């Protein structure tokens, strides 16, 4: 399925997210299309998972529905306690839903025990069997499936090669490093060729450099094996760089499902905007609305244009959202004005924190050039110029 990868390319291009690529204004790219007709691998339908009973029960998942496509790198993203791991465990079979169905290629598997599901998991702690060697760990699933000795040997060899662990096959698992343990866990989970691979924050125990390497490795393995990956993380950057699509979760609900591009540039609500990347929030009131675009008046009295979600009326009090890289600090002019509170140099770019005259804080992020500093120092007066199309009014 060579044509099925446009979104992969896109997410790799987005890998340097956090610093604008070319100019102050991040270019808008068209969102990938044509992926909608792909087959669904996993579908969660109206999932409720309650812990405890009665009215005091904790709803870890509250009517969650998501469809994960075949051969997709799908990420469940959210802060801790949002229910992402619970959803993963329901798919794996370690927990059973209180209500709802989990469909694997159309069959309801919600009631099956984990050993009857063609789904494997890479655990956060890796959970390698400490009494077995690397080789025996990778072979475990194949042995349980009753494969022949020859098949097992061939398959384990392929898997160890895939994760570059051939040389350490006879090591005990306490004699390998964290990064190697991670690879073994991956090989072990991939060896039985599951229909879906679940990854529960597998990179969180690695240091920064290794984590970056593994992100690329994981993407490569997903491409090579063609297996659907469901990845759980609380790290928004990790989610944006690796995923074909992301489901942002909070408090047991799915707030938005979309490509990294969608999630970042067209957040469905304030939570998503705030959770993914840095964002400025400005108080404003709606002056007029036309075709999804509103004129809003900011606290400073300036009117700006912002895209607006449905359900708002003129004179509503709203919050306008502007990404730091979609605005810049200027000596004169700009829709907002204030004084420079802090200038933070980040190498590739500079973050300028501005205290607006309205009292609100606003951060702009602009790319550095080799020859020129940003030209502002703490205490200077500055204007803020918001890029056209950059401001959005979101649901709370």
Of 3-11, 19-27, 111-119, 153-161, which segment contacts other proteins by CB under 8 A? 111-119
Q: Provide the sign of the torsion angle of the four alpha carbons 11, 16, 17, 22, taken in this order.
A: negative
Q: Which residue's CB is nearer to other proteins, number 174 or number 396?
A: 174
Per DSSP (E only), the strands in the chain are 40-51, 58-69, 73-77, 99-104, 107-108, 119-122, 196-200, 228-233, 245-250, 253-258, 280-290, 293-298, 303-308, 317-322, 327-330, 336-345, 349-356, 361-367, 381-386, 392-393
Q: How far is Cα 231 from Cα 229, in angstroms, rounded to an integer?
A: 6
Only segment of 21-29, 128-136, 175-183, 348-356 that touches other proteins (CB under 8 A)? 128-136
Which range in 40-48, 114-122, 243-251, 275-283 contacts other proteins by CB under 8 A?
114-122
Return all residues near 167 (Cβ < 8 A) that are at least 6 apart.
none
Determine which residue in the list 3, 107, 167, 174 makes contact with other proteins, applying CB under 8 A: 174
Q: How many residues bind other proteins (CB under 8 A)?
A: 24
Q: How far apart are CA 81 and CA 50, in angstroms?
A: 13
Contact between 34 and other proteins by CB under 8 A: the answer reads no
Residue 188 is a binding residue for other proteins (CB under 8 A): yes
50 part of the interface to other proteins, by CB under 8 A:
no
Under the criterion CB under 8 A, does residue 121 sit at the interface with other proteins? yes
Contacting residue, 12, 29, 58, 144, with other proteins by CB under 8 A = 144
CB of 192 or CB of 260, closer to other proteins:
192
Q: Applying CB under 8 A, which of residues 141, 252, 258, 334 lies at the interface with other proteins?
A: 141
By beta-carbon proximity to other proteins, the closer residue of 102 and 119 is 119
Binding of other proteins at residue 178 (CB under 8 A)? no
List the 327-330 sheet strands across, edge first.
327-330, 381-386, 336-345, 349-356, 361-367
3-state secondary structure of 393: strand
Selected range binding other proteins among 36-44, 86-94, 245-253, 360-368, rule: CB under 8 A: 86-94
10 Å Cβ neighbour count for 103?
A: 16
Number of residues written out for the chain: 396
Closer to other proteins by CB, 144 or 378: give it. 144
Residues 84, 248: Cα–Cα separation, whole Å: 9
- Does 155 interact with other proteins (rule: CB under 8 A)? no
C-alpha distances out from residue 200 to 76, 87, 218, 380, Å: 10, 11, 13, 47
Report the alpha-carbon distance of residue 242 to residue 387 in Å, rounded: 28
Nearest 5°: the CA angle 369, 19, 380 is 60
Taking CB under 8 A as the rule, does residue 312 contact other proteins? Answer: no
Which of 71, 120, 241, 337 is close enough to bind other proteins by CB under 8 A?
120
Closest-CA residue to 295 (of 274, 312, 272, 278) = 312
Binding of residue 85 to other proteins (CB under 8 A): no
Is 140 near other proteins (CB under 8 A)? Answer: yes
57 binds other proteins (CB under 8 A): no
Nearer to other proteins, 172 or 251 (CB): 172
Q: Which residues in this chain contact other proteins in the complex, by CB under 8 A?
A: 92-94, 113-115, 119-121, 123, 125, 127-131, 140-141, 144-145, 174, 188-189, 192
């Amino acid at each position: 399925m060579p044509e099925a990868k446009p979104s992969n390319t896109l997410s790799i291009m987005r890998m340097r997210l956090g610093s604008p690529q070319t100019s102050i204004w991040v270019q808008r790219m068209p969102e990938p299309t044509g992926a909608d007709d792909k087959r669904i691998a996993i579908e969660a339908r109206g999932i409720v998972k309650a812990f405890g009973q009665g009215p005091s029960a904790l709803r870890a998942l509250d009517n969650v529905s998501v469809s994960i496509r075949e051969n997709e790198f799908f990420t469940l993203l959210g802060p801790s306690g949002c229910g992402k791991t619970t959803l993963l465990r329901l798919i794996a079979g370690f927990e059973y839903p209180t209500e709802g169905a989990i469909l694997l290629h159309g069959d309801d598997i919600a009631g099956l025990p984990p050993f009857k599901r063609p789904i494997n998991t890479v655990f956060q702690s890796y959970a390698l069997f400490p009494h077995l060697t690397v080789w025996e760990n990778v072979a475990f699933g194949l042995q349980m499936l009753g494969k022949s000795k020859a098949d097992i040997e061939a398959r384990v060899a392929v898997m160890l090669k895939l994760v570059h662990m051939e040389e350490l096959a006879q090591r005990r698992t306490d004699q390998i490093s964290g990064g190697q343990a991670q690879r073994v866990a991956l090989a072990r989970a991939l060896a039985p060729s599951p229909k879906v691979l679940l990854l529960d924050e597998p990179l969180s125990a690695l240091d920064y450099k290794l984590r970056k390497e593994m992100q690329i490795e994981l993407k490569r393995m997903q491409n090579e094996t063609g297996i659907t990956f469901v990845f759980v993380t609380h790290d928004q950057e990790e989610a944006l760089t690796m995923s074909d699509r992301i489901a942002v979760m909070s408090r047991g609900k799915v707030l938005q499902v979309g490509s990294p591009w969608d999630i970042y540039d067209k957040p469905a609500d304030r939570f998503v905007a705030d959770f993914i990347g840095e964002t400025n929030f400005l108080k404003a009131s709606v002056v007029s609305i036309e075709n999804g675009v509103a004129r809003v008046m900011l606290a400073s009295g300036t009117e700006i244009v912002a895209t607006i979600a449905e359900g708002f009326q003129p004179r509503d009090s709203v919050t306008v959202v502007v990404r730091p890289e979609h605005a810049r600090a200027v000596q004169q002019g700009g829709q907002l004005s204030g004084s420079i509170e802090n200038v933070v140099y980040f190498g590739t770019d500079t973050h300028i924190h501005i205290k607006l005259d309205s009292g609100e804080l606003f951060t702009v992020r602009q790319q550095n050039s080799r020859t020129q500093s940003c030209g502002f120092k703490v205490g200077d007066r500055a204007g803020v110029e918001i890029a056209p199309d950059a401001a959005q009014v979101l649901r709370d």
